[in-house]
Amino acid sequence: MPTTYTDVLIGRQDETGRLDALLQAAREGRGGALVLRGEPGIGKSALLRHLDRSAPGFHVIRASGTEFERELPFAALHQLLTPVMGGLPALPAPHRKALEIAFGLDTGAPDPFLVAMAALGLLVEAAQERPVLCAVDDAQWLDHSSVRALAFLARRVSAEPVALVLAAREAGLRPELDQLPGHSLRSLGEADARALLAVAVRAPLDERVRDRILGEARGNPLALVELPRTAGLAGMAGGFAQPDTVPGVIEQSFRSRLELLEPAARLLVTLAAAEPIGDPGLLWRAAELLGIDATAVAQSVPLVDFGTRIRFSHPLARSAAYHAAAPDERRRAHEALATVTDPRTDPDRKAWHRAQASAGPDEQVAAELEASATRARERGGIAAAAAFLERAAELTVSPARRAERVLAAVEATLSVGDFDTAADLLTTVRTGDPGQEARADLLRGRLSFVRRRGDEGPTAHLLRAAARLADTDPDWSRECYLDAFEMGLLLGGLGDVADAAAKAPPKDGSPTTAAAVLTGLITLVGDGHRAAGEILGPVVADTGDEVWARRPSLGFMLATELWNFDTLQGVAARAVEAGRESGSFHALPIGLAMRATAKAHTGDFGAAAELISEEEAIADATGAAPLVYPRLHLAALRGRRAEALELFASVGHRMSLSVQWATAVLHNGLADYATALAAAERAVDHGAVGTAGLALPELVEAAVRCGEPEAAAEALAALQERTRTGGHAWGLGVEAYARALVTEDESAYQEALRLLGDDRLVVYRARAHLLYGEWLRRQGRRRDARSALRQAHESLSALGMEAFAERAAGELRATGEQARSRTSEASDQLTLQELHIARLVADGATSKEVAAKLFLSPRTVDAHLRNIFRKLQLTSRRQLRDLPGLR
């Protein structure tokens, strides 16, 4: 496209300098990304063209978002990557297949992050020959799947010769892009605006005309160029009325030029605006169908370049052309485009054009859109599915069918985080069907939970859904009550849930696990752990039951409450397996966090760190916040004071209960019992299921050491109710040493050591040895104390429980024996991600295999390895295998 006045970059030295620096860094293998933001016409597209001209030797690939294509999954990513698809055979088979499915070249359901990894792989392959520049204009109109993939790429090219620059309107339109490095373009100052106007208008200007143009344009470069064209200089001098906003000024300029066209030329421009992929063949066939001689007409059309690809001179020109057309002209254009679109190769775009051509309800088109939604969902295009379903609902006559499609659209919009649209859609659901009304309430509950605002909390919506279904579908009603209990465990309000659930009709016929869990939870809240134990104990012990597969968080919390270590590990392992099988990057991080927590309590801190690192890699790749509670558990048990306190402070109130438990564990290890007591009391006072129960033995220990026997005895009684209800070695062993602390009964210490003999319980066995040794020393039995304390110190040191190990060392010194100093391990010097990479490489993984697991590029893995080698003073991968703390 020829250079335009807006390509004259006056007053943009800072921006061009920043872009040139980005290109130079990419040439040196230090890639990066930048999002240029600003109002329409401010110069973003001109800067992209400058970037193109400034990149000799680069492989430049481009894409552009369009308002009319944002519903089609991976459309923009396909547009961007088409020039480098020759590298597809070099990708790992899973990545290649995922990308082929996403681009409609194969069937199946693509993993969105395998797609993103495949996109990164294509860029890396292309960059083997020369640096790559990815330039994306109008990014605010990109489809949701492409935005997520591009945001992933932007965070992963730092070690590659790849530069990614996106131009978008103001922040907030695409939250995924707001997390990337950005630069907001400001309006030109008066001197620069005058200079650009002088370039754009060569003729002498009356001072009043110039001032009017400068005042209307407000420093917007495109407005400075287009304003004189809108009404002519005479019109400006005569006070021609302009729109109030700069985009309005620019669009009015484009519309003014379009109004001068003949009807056939205007219809051709409308066709071009309605056909976002820019395919000339498609456009010419549609034009012929409408009786337009496109070859002759195209030569007289401004604002559009009819070349090998149809391009508008500016994104606002496309918008102006489309919205300036009368509704019947737009419908004619879409109808023609639908007719010429191949239903086999592009059924979704055909259905979308048919929908835009519909003037009123049309069940056939609505059904086609519903089919498109199914295909979009299978290809990972949840946002596209939502758009198809929303439009399908608009075209549906039957109220019941319309409600069904609206509810499906709400589910999809919630999945992609479009909460405002979901809320608006829910207000349109009006149906007398109890099942549909219940689904609407469940969706309102989900919406309330993620928004954390509204007149009613999420639990209230779930309870309303359960009540609606009590008569028509009692099994589903009970499921809703279980969901409400899970929500209540997370947010509080268990009493209200139990009161409502107690009124539910009893289960007819043979009892189900869900019904038993529901009864057990009602009993737990109303009558306590002892009464609920006979009901919940056997159910919680069955880790393979479907109720825990659907609600792993509920199973994990109840296993913790009943001190059932087998279920704790089993539920976590199954959640990870299910997350990996489904490819769900919502479910998998939860499973990884659960399993990391379970591993921390077995003393396998290396495995816990790996799982946390993998969960954090997914969070970083998706732009989500990592789940912090497994890090709290690991930090508390490790007992590195400065590191733990920094983490606790960063979490703040988000995980207040877990932070209080972790604070109690840390300070018991540090022998700061007053601080531990205060934190444990806060954790237990919260009254929640799970972590509050874990805090009870910490409260007993701190209270005894602080001389608070009543508080210790009360906490012991609460602990006994939980552990004896479960009847599992983990809980009974912990209860035994807590009882020994209160009663000073030596046999209770010995009982604890016997019960905690399982190697998975080594963390608690080591603490029991420590407590027993401390008691023996206070009894004056130095020799016996040394034996117990020596075992405690050796175990705690080997585990890496530094605070408790130092406490044991101090006790040993008090008996007259010097504790052996702990040998520094590799894990002490590495970050969680570095430790994970080091362990994977030590196990024989290649850089490519590590990269695929952690959503990194192989170059980034190699960069991390260089840091690992430097910190550990190594020179080869082979040396990692023999390091303590890695194998």
pLDDT in tens, 611-647: 998 888 877 766 667 888 899 999 999 999 998 999 8
The stretch 525-545 carries a mean pLDDT of: 81
Residue 195 has pLDDT above 90, yes or no: no
Which CATH topology does 628-822 take?
Answer: 1.25.40
pLDDT digits (tens, 9 = 90+) for 703-724: 999 999 999 999 999 999 889 8
User: Which pLDDT band, with edges at 50, 70 and 90, does 237 fall under?
Assistant: very low
The stretch 224-247 carries a mean pLDDT of: 50
Burial tier of 502 (Cβ tally within 10 Å: 0-12, 13-18, 19+): middle
- Domain residue spans of the chain: 5-184, 190-256, 261-340, 354-510, 528-627, 628-822, 832-882
The stretch 585-602 carries a mean pLDDT of: 89
Amino acid 478: pLDDT: 86
From 3.40.640.10, 1.10.1040.10, 3.40.50.300, 1.10.1060.10, which CATH number describes the 5-184 domain?
3.40.50.300
User: Which pLDDT band, with edges at 50, 70 and 90, does 499 fall under?
Assistant: confident
832-882: CATH architecture: Orthogonal Bundle (1.10)
Amino acid 110: pLDDT: 67
User: Which pLDDT band, with edges at 50, 70 and 90, does 242 fall under?
Assistant: very low
Amino acid 726: pLDDT: 79
| CATH code 1.10.600 for 354-510 | no
The stretch 665-684 carries a mean pLDDT of: 94
Tokens of 307: 């070349």
Residue carrying the six token digits 């040998």:
823
| Strands 304-306 vs 310-312: parallel, antiparallel or unpaired | antiparallel
Side-chain half-sphere exposure of 233, counting CA atoms within 13 A: 13
Q: What is the 3-state secondary structure (H, E, C) of 363-409?
A: HHHHHHHHHHHHHHHHCCCHHHHHHHHHHHHHCCCCHHHHHHHHHHH
The stretch 504-509 carries a mean pLDDT of: 69
The stretch 547-574 carries a mean pLDDT of: 88
The stretch 303-321 carries a mean pLDDT of: 77
The stretch 779-803 carries a mean pLDDT of: 92
Amino acid 240: pLDDT: 37
The stretch 195-215 carries a mean pLDDT of: 72
Residue 5 has pLDDT above 50, yes or no: no
Amino acid 238: pLDDT: 34
Asked if the domains 628-822 and 832-882 are classified in one and the same CATH topology, the answer is no
Amino acid 450: pLDDT: 65
CB under 8 Å to 594, separation ≥6 — which residues? 552, 553, 556, 571, 572, 575, 576, 630
pLDDT digits (tens, 9 = 90+) for 251-262: 666 777 777 788
Residue 491 has pLDDT above 80, yes or no: no
Give the orientation angle of helix 709-726 with respect to helix 529-541, to 10 degrees.
Answer: 40
Alpha-helical (H) ranges within 623-654 are 629-638, 641-651
pLDDT digits (tens, 9 = 90+) for 66-102: 776 666 778 889 989 999 999 999 888 888 888 888 8
Amino acid 622: pLDDT: 64
Residue 232 has pLDDT above 60, yes or no: no
Residue 742 has pLDDT above 90, yes or no: yes
pLDDT digits (tens, 9 = 90+) for 362-417: 898 889 888 888 877 776 567 677 778 888 888 998 888 999 999 988 888 777 66
| Strands 182-184 vs 32-37: parallel, antiparallel or unpaired | parallel
Residue 241 has pLDDT above 50, yes or no: no
Residue 453 has pLDDT above 60, yes or no: no
Tokens of 742: 């209160």
Cα dihedral 217/223/227/229 (nearest 10): 170
